[in-house]
C-alpha cells in the first residue's frame, strides 16, 4: 500500500503543517497547557512546526516567574513532610518511606506501598532536547543558559507521595469481569498483560530487535485486539543501568542506544494533540520510524485516522525484574483529572508529553518479579473520546524498598506502536 515520492514531493510534504483540532474526552477538564491547548503546529513558520514559537513561549514563562512563584513554598519548607493541597509530600524518597512505615500503611496481597514522584508544578513546562541547535548557537548563549537553569529547577518542582501498588496479575480480584490478559482490560483500565516468548536473542543489537522483535510485537497486537487491522511498531528503548558496552544513541542508524536512567516521574508519553500528530508524521513521513518503512498517501492516512486507533507501549524484561520496576496507573482513577503539558522541543517538531499531580486514590499496578515472558502493556493514546474506553494510562519507574541495595536494576526493552481498527 502507498506510493513512492520524489524528493520535491517529500519536501512539500514536510513543509505542510498538520494542525489537529482540540479534542477532549467526555467529562475531562481542559488540560493545563500553553495557548489554550492548541498544538504548536498551529504556529508553524516556514515548516518549523512551531518550534520557534515554543522556545519563545518557554522564555516568556521563565520571565513571568509563574512556576517559581507557585512552588516557592518548597524552598521555605523545613525537612520532613510538606503539606500540599493534594496531601503530604516529601523531598526525599527515604523520608516518604519512613512515613509509610511509621503510619502503618498496608497493601493487599501481592502489593506494596512505595513513594512515587509527582510534579507539583501546575504550569506547562518545556524541555529543549539535547539535539536542538539552540544549545550550539553562540548567539543564543543567554537564552540557552536561562532554559538550562529552568530545566534544572523543574527537577525540584516534584515531591514523593505514598501510593499503594496492586499486583496487575490480580486485576480480576478487583474487577471480577476483567482478565488482566485481555483487550477488555486495556479498554477499561488502560493497562493489561500478555505472555510472549520472543525469538530475539540479543536486545542490545538494535538491528536484530527491529528485524525480529518488531514483527513479533506487531503480530501480538493484531492477535490481542479484536478488530485490529494494522499494527506498526516504530521505535524502542533499552534500559540497563549496569550495561558496560556502547550506550551511544544514533538516530540516523535507527539505534536508540542503551538507557542508564529510569523515568522516575509520573507521566504519559502522549496526549490529545501529540497522539494524532505523532501518528500522522509517522504514517506520512516515516519521521523517527525505526520500524518497517510505510508510504501511505494522504488519503490513506486520512482514512486510517478516521477510524479508531491507539498507541500502545509494550515492555518486556530481558531477565526477571528485581529493582526499578515499571508501574502503571488505571484510567478510571484519573479520568476526570486535567493533565499538565510538557513540551519537548526538537529542531523540526514540538512533542507533547503529560504530567499529573498526586491523588491518594490513584489506582496503581505493578508486576512483582516480572518474568522475561511477561509483557506489560499500557495505552498512551486512544482516538475514542466519548468516554466509553480508556484514553491512556500514566506510568513511572519506582524503587522497590523490599529489594536489597545491591539488587540489579531492571533490564528491559520497551517498544512503541500504533494499532488501527
Q: What is the pLDDT of residue 10?
A: 45
Residue 171 belongs to some domain of the structure: yes
b/e code 52-62 from CB counts within 10 Å (16+ = b): bbbbebbbebb
Q: What is the pLDDT of residue 78?
A: 85
Task: Please name the residue that has the C-alpha cell 487491522.
Answer: 229
List, for residues 195-217, the tens digit of each pLDDT value. 999 999 999 999 999 999 999 99
**270, 311 contact by CB (below 8 A):** yes
* Closest C-alpha to 187, from 415, 396, 374, 387: 387
List, for residues 24-50, the tens digit of each pLDDT value. 999 889 999 999 999 999 999 998 999
* Closest C-alpha to 118, from 82, 146, 72: 82
In order, the DSSP letters of 243-287 are --S----BGGGTB---B-----S-EES--HHHHHHHHHHHHHH-T
Residues of the chain with pLDDT below 70 are 1-16
Residue 57 belongs to some domain of the structure: yes
Residue 94 belongs to some domain of the structure: yes
Residue 1 belongs to some domain of the structure: no
Residue 207 belongs to some domain of the structure: yes
Residue 2 belongs to some domain of the structure: no
Which helix H or strand E contains 311, and what residues bound it? strand 309-317
Residue 140 belongs to some domain of the structure: yes
Q: What is the pLDDT of residue 68?
A: 82
Measure the CA–CA gap between 14 and 242, rounded to whole angstroms: 39
Q: Which residues pair with 158 in a beta bridge?
A: 119
**Number of separate domains in the chain:** 1
Which helix H or strand E contains 232, and what residues bound it? strand 230-239
Give the max Cα distance, the chain: 67
Residues 6+ apart with CB under 8 A from 145: none
Residue 228: give the domain boundaries: 7-420
Q: What is the pLDDT of residue 15?
A: 52
Residue 342 belongs to some domain of the structure: yes
Q: Which residues pair with 420 in a beta bridge?
A: 230, 309
Q: What is the pLDDT of residue 75?
A: 80
**346, 129 contact by CB (below 8 A):** yes
Polymer length in residues for the chain: 421
Question: What's the burial of 417, exposed, middle or buried (CB within 10 Å: 0-12/13-18/19+)?
Answer: buried
Amino acid at each position: 500500500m502507498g506510493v513512492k515520492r520524489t524528493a520535491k514531493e517529500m519536501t512539500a510534504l514536510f513543509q505542510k503543517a498538520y494542525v489537529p483540532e482540540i479534542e477532549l474526552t467526555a467529562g475531562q477538564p481542559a488540560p493545563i497547557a500553553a495557548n489554550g491547548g492548541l498544538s504548536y503546529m498551529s504556529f508553524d513558520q516556514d515548516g518549523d512546526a512551531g518550534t520557534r514559537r515554543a522556545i519563545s513561549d518557554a522564555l516568556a514563562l521563565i520571565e513571568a516567574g509563574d512556576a517559581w512563584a507557585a512552588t516557592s513554598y518548597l524552598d521555605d519548607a523545613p525537612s520532613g513532610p510538606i503539606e500540599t493541597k493534594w496531601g503530604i509530600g516529601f523531598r526525599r524518597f527515604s523520608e516518604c518511606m519512613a512515613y509509610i512505615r511509621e503510619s502503618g500503611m498496608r497493601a493487599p496481597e501481592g502489593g506494596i506501598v512505595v513513594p512515587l514522584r509527582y510534579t507539583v508544578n501546575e504550569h506547562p513546562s518545556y524541555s529543549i532536547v539535547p539535539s536542538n541547535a539552540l544549545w550550539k548557537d553562540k548567539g543564543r548563549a543567554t537564552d540557552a543558559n536561562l532554559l538550562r537553569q529552568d530545566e534544572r529547577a523543574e527537577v525540584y518542582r516534584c515531591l514523593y507521595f505514598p501510593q499503594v501498588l496492586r499486583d496487575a496479575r490480580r486485576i480480576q480480584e478487583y474487577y471480577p469481569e476483567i482478565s488482566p490478559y485481555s483487550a477488555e482490560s486495556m479498554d477499561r483500565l488502560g493497562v493489561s498483560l500478555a505472555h510472549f516468548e520472543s525469538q530475539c536473542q540479543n536486545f542490545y543489537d538494535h538491528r536484530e530487535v527491529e528485524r525480529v522483535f518488531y514483527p513479533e510485537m506487531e503480530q501480538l497486537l493484531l492477535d490481542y485486539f479484536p478488530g485490529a487491522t494494522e499494527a506498526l511498531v516504530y521505535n524502542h528503548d533499552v534500559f540497563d543501568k549496569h550495561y558496560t558496552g556502547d550506550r551511544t544513541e544514533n538516530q540516523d542508524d535507527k539505534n536508540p542506544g542503551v538507557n542508564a536512567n529510569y523515568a522516575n516521574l509520573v507521566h504519559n508519553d502522549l496526549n490529545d494533540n501529540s497522539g494524532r500528530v505523532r501518528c500522522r508524521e509517522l504514517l506520512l513521513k516515516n519521521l523517527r520510524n525505526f520500524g518497517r518503512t510505510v508510504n501511505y498517501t494522504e488519503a490513506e492516512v486520512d482514512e486510517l485516522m478516521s477510524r479508531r486507533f491507539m498507541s500502545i507501549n509494550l515492555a518486556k524484561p530481558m531477565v526477571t525484574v528485581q529493582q526499578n520496576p515499571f508501574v502503571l496507573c488505571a484510567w478510571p482513577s484519573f479520568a476526570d483529572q486535567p493533565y499538565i503539558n510538557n513540551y519537548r522541543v526538537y529542531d523540526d517538531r514540538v512533542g507533547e508529553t503529560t504530567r499529573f499531580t498526586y491523588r491518594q486514590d490513584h489506582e496503581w499496578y505493578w508486576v512483582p518479579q516480572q518474568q522475561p515472558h511477561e509483557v506489560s502493556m499500557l495505552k498512551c493514546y486512544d482516538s475514542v473520546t466519548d468516554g466509553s474506553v480508556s484514553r491512556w494510562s500514566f506510568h513511572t519507574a519506582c524503587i522497590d524498598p523490599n529489594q536489597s541495595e545491591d539488587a540489579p536494576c531492571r533490564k528491559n526493552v520497551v517498544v512503541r506502536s500504533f494499532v488501527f481498527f
